[in-house]
Structure 1
Amino acid sequence: MTVDRDAAWQPLKGVRIVDFSVLLPGPLSTVLLADLGAEVVKIEAPTGDPARHLLPGVFNTLNRNKRGVMLDLKDPANMPRVAELMCWADVVVESFRPGVAQRIGIGVEVARSHNPRIIYCSMSGFGQDGPWRAKPGHDLTYSAAAGAMSHPGSWGQHPARSSLPVGDLVAGMMASNAILAALRERDLTGQSAHLDLSIFEAMFFCAATRHGLDQEVDLTSHLFPGNDLYQTADDKTLALGLMEDHYWQVFCDRAAVVDDKMLAVRGLDEHARRARGDALTATLKTLIRARTLEQWYALLRDSDIPFEACLTPAQAASSTHLHARGRVVQQAGQQFVPFPVTVDGHRRPAVSRTCPHLGQDTEAFFSQIQSAQQCADLKV
């Protein structure tokens, strides 16, 4: 088979996904798969996914490459359409609280009764069982309970939240990985799978990976003076990555132009810098405040030191590097950032359609898929 090296990379073409999820983690997992060629149908209640009004920008980007179907799952008259969806799908994704999907007639047992090969992914805050299964939560509270908010991100500061909903993002990415693994297993064995993915546990995985599980832990063991964010004279933010000794030494040489006292600390190795972390952090804050961001760029340019200005996503999108890499694409007058990978130097995931209006594909979609029994016969 000849591969068109300039065509979009769509390795999941032919994989069919029904997405009952809302807000961020579930839709993120399915948009990643949609970018890679899977056919994803987003199912929404007549009131729509709450993200349509809570997070319209997020909703727009997470539901590209999907068709939109409106279906009132509280209406028993729509159960035949649910059966059609289950028979049509390779994968179902839902993000209700545990027990809700079963109660409204779209649970895993219903799905398997129509399609014994289906991959069914349940995403929830704390998982499908356990004493916390019914607790409410959001990204911040899952992260706090998982240990991800216990360590400070900057020397001498209290722990602070990120602007990114890290738990939601990580959980969505892990779900897409688990779905791909389950599809591979099904291809080899014919076995269905019910995936139980918890946002809390996704963040626990991250926190344990970064900070370990020892009871007695140094809350600053992951911090390095000089590996932080600093305010410049024009109230912009400079990110410095001075972890290794050779980066620290080169920085001190350059910074001596601003304050020759930096030469006195040039020879401090990583252990010595950490021992003097409070004093060095105060010194660096004062030092960086003495010059504008542009002046620091002029001073550090070509130094082989890790440093960057803190940009907005819009500013980053306009960079020559992202333009050269082709990471921002246009579709119907809108900008999107699809799955960021390049294959064989040429092929990339594509954006073929923008976010659907509520229910815009309902009738067209159901007119195209086969009846539940016909589809079930094909899948057995």
Structure 2
Amino acid sequence: MEPADHSAPRRGPPVTSTPMLSGCLTGVRVLDLSSFLPGPFCTQILADLGATVIKVEGPRGDAARQLPGALHEAANRNKRSVVLDLKTDEGQVLGRALAAGADVLVEGFRPGVVDRLGMSYPAVRAVNPSIVYCSVSGFGQTGPLRAAPGHDVTYLAASGMLSVAGGWDDPPPRRPGVPVSDLAASTYAAIAILAALHQRRDTGGGAHLDLAITDAALSFASTRADRCLDDRATATQHLHPSNDLFEAADGVRIAIGAVEEHFWQRLAALLAEEVPALGDPRFGSADGRRTHGDDLVALLRRAVRTRPAADWLAAFAAADVPAHQVLSVGEARRSAHVQARGIVADSDRGRHVVFPVLRDGAVMGTVRSTAPELGAHTEQVLADLVAGREPWGP
């Protein structure tokens, strides 16, 4: 989520420029015991698609609320916040009572913690045999590292992802600015949950899903190893010298993606006007461009620096060469293309990129509410629960 632009008029209900579908997961009830990013972003995906999500927080709240930036707001829209102290007997009884009416439970603790909180899979399954229970942890519920602490950067390191160079002259390790392992885990968790719910329609039974953030990162990283998990892959084996970031004369960076031969030929024809050495026969094949990649990248950088970005972007577009200016997240959100796609919703507390898929021309994700204040729904939910009324709300 991007913070609100206070220079613009404040807006009321969320809006998009593309029609939105009614929630595909309307009626699915999700109990979220997770914090930080991997679990909450998973349950937000489900919430964007219409699921009802109750987020259970301890008395001090999700630790993400205390972090700089807007991490909590970015991963907790469309949820209700209920404060329960699961370290107490009363809190555990109420937690299991909520779980009894849920279709899905997501927890993000280290293995063993939910046992102490009275919310383990066996404890929850005893009151709800059909529950789809998803455990998201750094290293999984099994293995010698199962109890080890970690965060995104350590999971990236453990998965091999930091060994993969992002550019020809950008040697690893280099940490990406986006928490890739956390978001990979969120995505796989959502897919696994939906698959388990689909299977439950036939079997009636629930499941315990064990998702390790490091496993998810390894799955992503393995797409960059030509022989899958082979250590013999070279540092540049997956790279193309003409598929990288280049700085124009005005300091603006341009991403160029000339991977296929026809794109390279078009790019070389344009840039050789500025740097004739790009026509060297050494660069006439993909193998040759890799073999002489250091020289080629240096020439490409010299060529792109001869003109401002706007000139190059216009030339690349006219020649049908894959290229785009490197944008900030805010610039990307405001771009005419993203606005036309309709995946950005505005609210009085900021801007949100909803579930970014269109179905039959309509946006699948919606923003019904922004991230709740800590405990905003505790009183109503617990009053309904104790009174035997429906606690999940609309």
Shorter-normalised TM-score: what interval? over 0.9
Q: 2:129 aligns with which of 116, 138, 148?
A: 116
Alignment match, 1:47: 60
Contact 2:20–2:366 (CA under 8 A) maintained in structure 1: no
Q: Is 1:88 matched up with 2:104?
A: no
Contact 1:9–1:347 (CA under 8 A) maintained in structure 2: no
What does 1:136-151 correspond to in 2, within 5 Å? 136-151=149-164
Q: 2:361 aligns with which of 345, 357, 366?
A: 345
Q: TM-score, normalised by structure 1?
A: 0.93
Q: CA deviation at 1:367?
A: 2.9
Contact 2:121–2:208 (CA under 8 A) maintained in structure 1: yes
The superposition leaves residues 40-96 of structure 1 with CA deviations (integer Å, 9 ceiling, x where unpaired) of 011111111111121441210210000111111112222331122111111110000
State the identity as a percent: 42
Structure 1 counterpart SS, 2:264: helix
Q: Is 1:269 matched up with 2:285?
A: yes
In 1: Cα distance, 2:96 partner to 2:315 partner: 65
Q: CA deviation at 1:370?
A: 7.0
Contact 2:275–2:302 (CA under 8 A) maintained in structure 1: no
The superposition leaves residues 117-160 of structure 1 with CA deviations (integer Å, 9 ceiling, x where unpaired) of 11111000001111111111111111111111112111133111
What does 1:97-246 correspond to in 2, within 5 Å? 97-159=110-172, 160-211=174-225, 212-246=228-262
Contact 1:249–1:267 (CA under 8 A) maintained in structure 2: no
Q: Name structure 2 gaps, 5 residues minimum.
A: 1-17
Q: 2:77 aligns with which of 60, 64, 68?
A: 64
Contact 1:170–1:203 (CA under 8 A) maintained in structure 2: yes
Contact 1:240–1:308 (CA under 8 A) maintained in structure 2: yes
Structure 2 counterpart SS, 1:301: helix
Number of equivalent positions = 370
Contact 1:23–1:51 (CA under 8 A) maintained in structure 2: yes
Q: Is 1:285 matched up with 2:285?
A: no
Q: CA deviation at 1:349?
A: 1.8
Alignment match, 1:18: 31
Q: CA deviation at 1:336?
A: 0.7
Report which stretch shifted further, 352-361 or 301-310. Answer: 301-310
Alignment match, 1:378: none
Q: CA deviation at 1:6?
A: 5.3
Q: TM-score, normalised by structure 2?
A: 0.90
Q: 1:34 aligns with which of 47, 59, 63?
A: 47
The superposition leaves residues 277-306 of structure 1 with CA deviations (integer Å, 9 ceiling, x where unpaired) of 110011111222222212222332321110
Closer, same or farther: CA 17–370 of 1 in aligned 2, 3 Å = farther
**2:217 alignment partner AA:** M
Closer, same or farther: CA 347–287 of 1 in aligned 2, 3 Å = closer
In 1: Cα distance, 2:270 partner to 2:276 partner: 10
**1:182 alignment partner AA:** A
Contact 1:22–1:51 (CA under 8 A) maintained in structure 2: yes
CA RMSD after TM alignment: 1.9
Report which stretch shifted further, 326-335 or 17-26. Answer: 326-335
In 2: Cα distance, 1:164 partner to 1:265 partner: 39
